[in-house]
């Protein structure tokens, strides 16, 4: 709504009427909104009130101000209504122009009181007055259009806006946006998009930033028109709008919408960059958003950054309110579930940060339903030469079970025992692996058995030689 609808804006009426007190009688030719049959209408730019009406209206303007419930000054409406009622009771004797001024004031009064139907009737009557001035008429047209939109009379609202545009000297960007919103409510997305784009172009030409919701409506229109213009083209056009929004109005919702649209276009790298930018601005606040960014970073071979994103999600806190008790609980955005911990451990592992991966994987293993995490943990221990810990972890993994390739796990465990020079245990694990049906594993296991037996002999011989030297020294 424009300033006309503020209670404290009685001076808006005064400004219009003061303009109309001029004694010039210039005429402006206005066109009807009906393009098929244009009717030539002439309205005076200004007129003068009769002396008696002018005196009464002056009292309206001079009505003392009171302070409303919000602590803002507002006119004494009781005094205003009394004066306007007196004028209305004698409306038959008033000149047409005087009645238009009175009706304009009544429209304001009715609107201020929430009586929209009566306000609309007042403005309709005003518009139909033969001696109404152009400033009053166009103001009433626009106000009436807005009231119709508030009442969800969208078709009538559109008709009145178009009529107003046809008669006003200059159409503003705001009025085009109002028309665009009305068309959107009617489901005419093509006209809505066109109107909003006109509003944006006008605003840019006049040197000020277009309103946020103008772009939002265009994006919504494009989404609604995807069957008409094609899904891919629709997505590309939406990308253009969301890219503008994240630059002009960098809110989380626009980053998410832009990223999601990139995802639909299979532009994973752009999706990643967008979410990364949102993360840098501390706009992400959902677990799913952090996980999506981490997975995109992994997909684009950035495991170190993926790990850091996940850690930041673990550190970031959010408040959860119990619906029944209203009790507030502070919890991390990324909870320590098996899935999340495993993803973090994998990220650190792929980034070659094994010392950081191990403690995370230890947590994940305790929460796992199968033995896979323990087996992986055992492999990391082996990589770090923590052989005893590797044995313990791998054995826990085998005990938990649900491992796809157990023979390979037995091979690994056998290798750990080999490094510990526990040859009997090693051969036992290799023999278990050798029973696998897969030829490659069977061959590898048998080779390890032979190698272990030879190494066992070599180690025993070294021990015997060492004992002989000690005895004869």
Alpha-carbon torsion 363, 368, 373, 375, what sign?
Answer: positive
End-to-end C-alpha distance for the chain, whole angstroms: 108
Task: Identify whether residues 353 and 410 lie together within a single domain.
Answer: no
* Residue closest to 57 by CA, chosen among 92, 102, 111: 102
Residue 30 has pLDDT above 80, yes or no: no
* Predicted pLDDT of residue 103: 87
Residue 143: inside a domain: yes
Give the residue-averaged pLDDT of 442-466: 90
384: phi then psi, degrees, rounded to nearest 5: -95, 10
Residue 169's alpha-carbon distances to 24, 31, 164, 200, in angstroms, are 18, 11, 10, 20
* Predicted pLDDT of residue 260: 94
Question: What pairs with residue 75 in β-bridges?
Answer: 65
Task: Identify whether residues 9 and 158 lie together within a single domain.
Answer: yes
Task: Identify whether residues 353 and 438 lie together within a single domain.
Answer: no
Of 138, 169, 200, which marks where a domain is finished? 169
Task: Identify whether residues 333 and 417 lie together within a single domain.
Answer: no
Task: Identify whether residues 311 and 446 lie together within a single domain.
Answer: no
Residue 233: inside a domain: no
Residue 463 has pLDDT above 70, yes or no: yes
Residue 395: inside a domain: no
* Predicted pLDDT of residue 50: 65
* Predicted pLDDT of residue 3: 34
Residue 231: inside a domain: no
Instruction: Give the side-chain half-sphere CA count within 13 A for 350.
Output: 20
Residue 129 binned pLDDT confidence (cut-offs 50, 70, 90): confident
Give yes or no for a contact between 246 and 254, defined as CB atoms under 8 angstroms apart.
yes
Residue 160 has pLDDT above 50, yes or no: yes
Q: Which two tokens stand for residue 17?
A: 């009427």
Higher pLDDT, 24 or 358: 358
Cα-based angle 290, 296, 300 (whole degrees, multiple of 5): 145
Task: Identify whether residues 35 and 165 lie together within a single domain.
Answer: yes
Q: Which two tokens stand for residue 80?
A: 């205003």
Residue 169 binned pLDDT confidence (cut-offs 50, 70, 90): confident
Residue 93 binned pLDDT confidence (cut-offs 50, 70, 90): low
Residue 283 has pLDDT above 70, yes or no: yes
Task: Identify whether residues 165 and 311 lie together within a single domain.
Answer: no
How far apart are the C-alpha atoms of 59 and 81, rounded to whole Å?
A: 11
Task: Identify whether residues 332 and 448 lie together within a single domain.
Answer: no
Residue 29 binned pLDDT confidence (cut-offs 50, 70, 90): very low
* Predicted pLDDT of residue 472: 76
Residue 27 has pLDDT above 50, yes or no: no
**Which residues, including other chains, have CB under 8 Å from residue 317's CB and lie 6 or more apart?**
330, 331, 332, 333
Give yes or no for a contact between 138 and 168, defined as CB atoms under 8 angstroms apart.
yes
Residue 240: inside a domain: no
Residue 358 binned pLDDT confidence (cut-offs 50, 70, 90): very high
Give the residue-averaged pLDDT of 135-162: 92
Task: Identify whether residues 354 and 419 lie together within a single domain.
Answer: no
Task: Identify whether residues 44 and 159 lie together within a single domain.
Answer: yes
208-232 burial, b at 16+ Cβ within 10 Å, e below that, comes to eebbeebbbbbbbbbebbeeeeeee
* Predicted pLDDT of residue 128: 87
Higher pLDDT, 341 or 21: 341
Q: Report the share of the chain in percent with pLDDT over 90.
A: 62
Give the residue-averaged pLDDT of 79-105: 76
Residue 270: inside a domain: no
Task: Identify whether residues 359 and 413 lie together within a single domain.
Answer: no
Compute the mean pLDDT over every residue in the chain, rounded to the nearest whole number. Answer: 84
Q: Which domain holds residue 40?
A: 1-169
* Predicted pLDDT of residue 462: 86
Of 169, 201, 228, which marks where a domain is finished? 169
Counted domains in the chain: 3
Residue 461 has pLDDT above 50, yes or no: yes
Question: What pairs with residue 41 in β-bridges?
Answer: 30
Task: Identify whether residues 363 and 416 lie together within a single domain.
Answer: no
Q: How much is the pTM? A: 0.75
Residue 19: inside a domain: yes
* Predicted pLDDT of residue 168: 87
Give the residue-averaged pLDDT of 381-401: 95
Residue 114 has pLDDT above 90, yes or no: no
* Predicted pLDDT of residue 43: 56
Give yes or no for a contact between 316 and 330, defined as CB atoms under 8 angstroms apart.
no
Give the residue-averaged pLDDT of 387-413: 93
Of 127, 144, 169, which marks where a domain is finished? 169
How far apart are the C-alpha atoms of 404 and 328, rounded to whole Å?
A: 43
Instruction: Give the side-chain half-sphere CA count within 13 A for 364.
Output: 22
Residue 81 binned pLDDT confidence (cut-offs 50, 70, 90): confident
Residue 9: inside a domain: yes
* Predicted pLDDT of residue 468: 73
How far apart are the C-alpha atoms of 332 and 94, rounded to whole Å?
A: 72
Residue 36 binned pLDDT confidence (cut-offs 50, 70, 90): very low
Angle of the 189-205 helix axis to the 173-186 helix axis, nearest 10: 170
Say which range, 26-40, 44-58, 293-307, 375-389, has the weakest mean pLDDT. Answer: 26-40
Say which range, 61-75, 141-155, 199-213, 373-387, has the weakest mean pLDDT. Answer: 61-75
Residue 13 has pLDDT above 50, yes or no: no
Residue 136 binned pLDDT confidence (cut-offs 50, 70, 90): confident
* Residue closest to 56 by CA, chosen among 12, 22, 89: 89
CATH number of the domain bearing residue 57: 1.25.40
């Amino acid at each position: 709504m424009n300033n006309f609808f503020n209670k404290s804006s009685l001076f808006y009426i005064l400004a219009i009427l003061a303009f109309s007190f001029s004694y010039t009688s210039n005429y402006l030719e206005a066109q009807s909104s009906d393009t098929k049959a244009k009717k030539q209408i002439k309205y005076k730019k200004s007129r003068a009130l009769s002396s008696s009406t002018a005196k009464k209206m002056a009292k309206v303007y001079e009505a003392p101000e009171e302070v409303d419930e919000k602590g803002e000054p507002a006119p004494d409406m009781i005094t205003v209504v009394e004066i306007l009622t007196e004028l209305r009771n004698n409306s038959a004797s008033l000149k047409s122009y005087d009645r238009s001024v009175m009706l304009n004031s009544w429209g304001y009064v009715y609107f201020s009181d929430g009586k929209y139907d009566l306000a609309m009737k007042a403005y309709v009557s005003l518009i139909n007055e033969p001696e109404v001035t152009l400033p009053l008429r166009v103001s009433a047209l626009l106000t009436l259009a807005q009231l119709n939109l508030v009442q969800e009379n969208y078709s009538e609202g559109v008709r009145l806006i178009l009529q107003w545009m046809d008669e006003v000297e200059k159409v503003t960007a705001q009025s085009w946006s109002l028309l665009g919103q009305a068309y959107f409510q009617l489901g005419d997305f093509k006209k809505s998009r066109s109107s909003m784009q006109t509003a944006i172009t006008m605003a840019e030409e006049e040197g000020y930033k277009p309103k946020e919701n103008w772009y939002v409506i265009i994006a919504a229109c494009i989404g609604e028109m995807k069957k008409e213009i094609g899904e891919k083209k629709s997505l590309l056009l939406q990308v253009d709008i969301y890219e503008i929004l994240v630059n002009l109005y960098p809110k989380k919702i626009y980053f998410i919408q832009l990223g999601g649209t990139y995802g639909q276009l299979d532009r994973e790298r752009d999706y990643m960059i967008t979410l990364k930018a949102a993360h840098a601005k501390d706009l992400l606040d959902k677990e799913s958003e952090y996980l999506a960014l981490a997975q995109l970073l992994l997909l684009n071979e950035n495991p170190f950054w993926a790990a850091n994103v996940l850690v930041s999600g673990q550190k970031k806190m959010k408040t959860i309110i119990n619906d029944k008790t209203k009790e507030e609980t502070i919890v991390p955005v990324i909870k320590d579930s098996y899935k999340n911990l495993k993803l973090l451990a994998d990220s650190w592992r792929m980034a070659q940060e094994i010392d950081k991966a191990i403690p995370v994987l230890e947590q994940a293993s305790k929460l796992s339903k199968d033995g896979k995490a323990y087996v992986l943990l055992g492999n990391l221990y082996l990589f770090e030469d923590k052989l005893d810990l590797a044995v313990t972890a791998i054995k826990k993994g085998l005990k938990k079970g649900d491992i796809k390739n157990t023979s390979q796990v037995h091979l690994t465990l056998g290798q750990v025992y080999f490094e510990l020079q526990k040859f009997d245990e090693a051969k036992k694990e290799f023999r278990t692996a050798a029973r696998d049906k897969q030829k490659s594993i069977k061959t590898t296991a048998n080779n390890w058995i032979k190698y272990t037996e030879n190494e066992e002999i070599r180690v025993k011989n070294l021990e015997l030689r060492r004992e002989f030297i000690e005895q004869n020294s």
